[in-house]
Structure 1
């Protein structure tokens, strides 16, 4: 999958070309910032990274605001924003897959459409279709936007962005991504593995929440407690049975026994309802906290984001805040209704129980020996108390065993999948990747780095993959070059292993890379059967052969010729 060209045009009031950028189908494509040396000129806002951002939008990035909003200064380029919306600007990305062309249109204004080969898609459908086109992947996981940032690196590099190219992403997800990229496991198993990981995390969190409840300790502790209660209960029941009752009192005693059994049933039911009432009250308290602690800063950002897509909104920001609180209050009101039903049910159960207790009190056996009656009453009181305690313990055990059973089932399924990971096969594939990666690093820095898949990462509580070198960690100054080596090596790996993946790599912000490494990177591009696309200041490549630079240049910008031609 190659990028043939990018077209950006106005569509209103009539069609008008802004840019048409044909990319080199093999090797290097440079987007040059040719800002003059006049002191008032600056290369920071001519739009040299805009082409990359637009390509990223065509490949599923969400927000067109990245074209005019600067998160560092929290400011907007109003001229670009106005141009996009009033001239209904759209981008067309032409991809080439073997001899077939795929045309992707992303409209860069509010409520803009997403179109592939003339067919309009919703955002989710757009992602799914692109994932099939780019990676031949139909399964839910990994997602398109978990994969594309590996090939289109738009954001600033961080210390670990060589292998950690996503934000706020779990180790399980990264494991799925790398197993997919290296084609170590079948796609269907990878997708199932990722879904199981999400479910397992949810169950573990639920288990922790239950153990924090005042009525529930650990499952083993509950079972030990239950055994002690049952043992004591059995002893008391035997002792009551051994009392020498006369036939005269059998009917009265049987009626008392039946009443006790009914009371115990109601007591167990009331305990369960009380547990549910407590949980509902905690949810209400949590929602009240959400209403009182709403992140106004985040809500303001979402409100502004909505304005970008929809234009002027019918509701003011204050009304949005009120609406947000009203929505939470509606949820609270709904849960309060459920609470009232449960509390009403609890009152009904307790009323029935109390009525039976009153009936039991009225049941006397006058003719029974006074000492025997006192002993019998004492035994029955202890038995009733133990039965209630046993009911609470069994209910807690049932809840925890349900969660533990689900965790066990998920763990078994995940083990079945993980057992299919053959260490020899993994090492063989990683070795093929390192054949290219180590060679590229050595050409760049005279030092070999290698990529490692950590098979026991979960047990060791490590990241699934890592980079190693003879000198230890990758230095900050070398990081950009190692990222280039990593991504170009993957392109060679995908080619050798016949993996369906983009045959292009797009990098931003290579200005800090030393000129010697830049020359080596440009030389490496001749070895790949794919594309390496970068925006860069012309002055950074001034020492590279001029004829070569002109040959690989696909776009040149300056303060007099900015990307959107707004000067």
Structure 2
């Protein structure tokens, strides 16, 4: 895809329209070098690159939050873009020479929420879908990694990190695994595992961090032993707490206890009465039974003879009288003893009931006594709570330890399988690099008289790309290396039919030697490439005719936004 046009407009008019072409595209600042100190070099030439970047998924904030506009307040530029509802339209085309080739029209404004416009070919997209759609249209890829913004990072170089680094074009915090996915994509090697590997590596880093933190605090054995002691303490405290089981209805227990005490007193009195009566009856029975043994038969017989002398005709004999006496005693004993069985049953019943009441009284009394020891119980509960907190902490540490260890083992296995799979691509990777170096070495030699070579290095985490050089690189030489790499990459893609962006945006091109810009113009004019650079007219080499390459001319009197 090439850049066809960039248009800046509001509801009323077109503010600026830039038509791009193949080869070198110059955005020229007409400000004389000796006037830069007064003007501040703020005509907006680098802003053109930022507007293109904005249309390709950038947030656009660097357009009005940048030192380039230090003579104008950032608020002024931001207000202009938003209050005038400035619309930026970028048109990309598959082949600039073919009228009917595919086009991609991107429209964006700087407003938010419901007023935000973000379209591709007339269709509105969310931020995520917007980037995925561009990736599908330009690079014919639907994979999650690398992202669209990562892929085009080397095509848009105006930030310092991208101007200073040839292949390390992403944020400084980018992981090796993400770079590996990007490099393999650049070289046309589709492993279908890059995204999975990045996620696994991220998970591995997380689990390793958890284990590192756990090891710093304690050890696995210490956790096990601590839990053993804590569980023992909890068992002991729970036993103490059980002995302090409290009846929730204290008043009911107290009323029951009072009733039991009253019943116990009543039963004790009744039992005493029953026992006393039983003893009296038994004593009376014993006394009567003794009469059998104590009676004097001879005296009774003498008494009978005396009575018979006075009453000669007594009808009852002595034997009859004795039998009557004994019979009377038997009846008396029988009568007295008849109450004994019932008394004994009543005594047994009273004893059982009394014992039951005594047991109940003891149990309830213990409960109520323990209620009086509430402070001690609270101490036990507080100790239990502390132990449970400690237990929870150690159990969570143990869970994390075991879980992280198991996860790490699974991740390592998965990474090993993926790396083994990627390793099988190593031959293809080397072949791709060899093919790339055919272009890279030729372009770099033409631009700077030195052959740069790309190479791969397999680290423990991922494959890396490195550029070999002879001697140290000055700023100009570094710029030449970067330009050579970007140009060679597009040539490599065209040779191997790898979808790519055919435009290169470079800022600060003034830092390369004069003859290099002329050579770049020559190389890209013979290739299927757009090389777009903002530059001061005074910095252009004398042998380069700017009118042949100019797509936009800016000055203090004709700034990009006209303000």
CA distance in 2 between counterparts of 1:488 and 1:171 reads 25
Contact 1:32 1:556 in 2 (8 A): yes
Contact 1:35 1:43 in 2 (8 A): no
Which residue in 1 is equivalent to 2:560? 563
Change (3 A) 1:57 1:266: same
Query: In the alignment, is residue 108 of structure 1 matched against residue 110 of structure 2?
Result: yes
Q: Look up the SS of the partner of 1:458 in the other structure.
A: coil
CA displacement at 1:80 relative to structure 2: 2.3
CA distance in 2 between counterparts of 1:189 and 1:146 reads 17
CA displacement at 1:444 relative to structure 2: 1.7
Match among 94, 103, 122 for residue 97 of structure 1 = 94
Instruction: Give the number of aligned pairs.
Output: 407
Query: In the alignment, is residue 132 of structure 1 matched against residue 136 of structure 2?
Result: yes
Query: In the alignment, is residue 54 of structure 1 matched against residue 58 of structure 2?
Result: no
Change (3 A) 1:427 1:357: farther
CA distance in 2 between counterparts of 1:72 and 1:34 reads 16
Change (3 A) 1:530 1:266: same
Q: Look up the SS of the partner of 1:137 in the other structure.
A: coil
Contact 1:18 1:564 in 2 (8 A): yes
Change (3 A) 1:564 1:442: same
Contact 1:92 1:105 in 2 (8 A): yes
CA displacement at 1:139 relative to structure 2: 2.2
Contact 1:196 1:414 in 2 (8 A): yes
Q: Structure 2 matches for 1:344-363, cutoff 5 A?
A: 352=238, 354-355=240-241
TM-score of the aligned structures, taking structure 1 as reference length: 0.65
Which residue in 1 is equivalent to 2:459? 456
Contact 1:33 1:43 in 2 (8 A): no
CA displacement at 1:198 relative to structure 2: 1.6
Change (3 A) 1:354 1:52: farther
Contact 2:40 2:68 in 1 (8 A): no
Task: Name structure 2 gaps, 5 residues minimum.
Answer: 96-100, 246-389
Which residue in 1 is equivalent to 2:9? 9
Contact 2:31 2:41 in 1 (8 A): no
Q: Any idea what the Cα deviations from partners look like across 1:29-68, whole Å, max 9, x if unmatched? A: 1111112467376371011111110000000001x33222
Change (3 A) 1:564 1:391: closer
Over aligned residues, Cα RMSD in angstroms? 3.2
Q: Any idea what the Cα deviations from partners look like across 1:102-144, whole Å, max 9, x if unmatched? A: 1100103455321111111121221222222222222222122
Q: Structure 2 matches for 1:388-537, cutoff 5 A?
A: 399-421=400-422, 422-456=425-459, 458=461, 464-471=464-471, 473-537=472-536
Which residue in 1 is equivalent to 2:187? 182
CA distance in 2 between counterparts of 1:118 and 1:166 reads 30
Q: Look up the SS of the partner of 2:402 in the other structure.
A: helix
Q: Look up the SS of the partner of 1:451 in the other structure.
A: strand
CA displacement at 1:79 relative to structure 2: 3.4
Match among 67, 70, 85 for residue 88 of structure 1 = 85
Please list every run of at least 4 consecutive aligned residues from structure 1 whose deviation after the TM superposition is greater than 4 angstroms: 71-75, 157-160, 263-266, 356-359, 389-398
CA displacement at 1:164 relative to structure 2: 1.4
Q: Look up the SS of the partner of 1:441 in the other structure.
A: helix
CA distance in 2 between counterparts of 1:424 and 1:19 reads 49
CA displacement at 1:433 relative to structure 2: 0.9
CA displacement at 1:400 relative to structure 2: 2.1
TM-score of the aligned structures, taking structure 2 as reference length: 0.66
Query: In the alignment, is residue 209 of structure 1 matched against residue 213 of structure 2?
Result: yes
Change (3 A) 1:539 1:354: farther
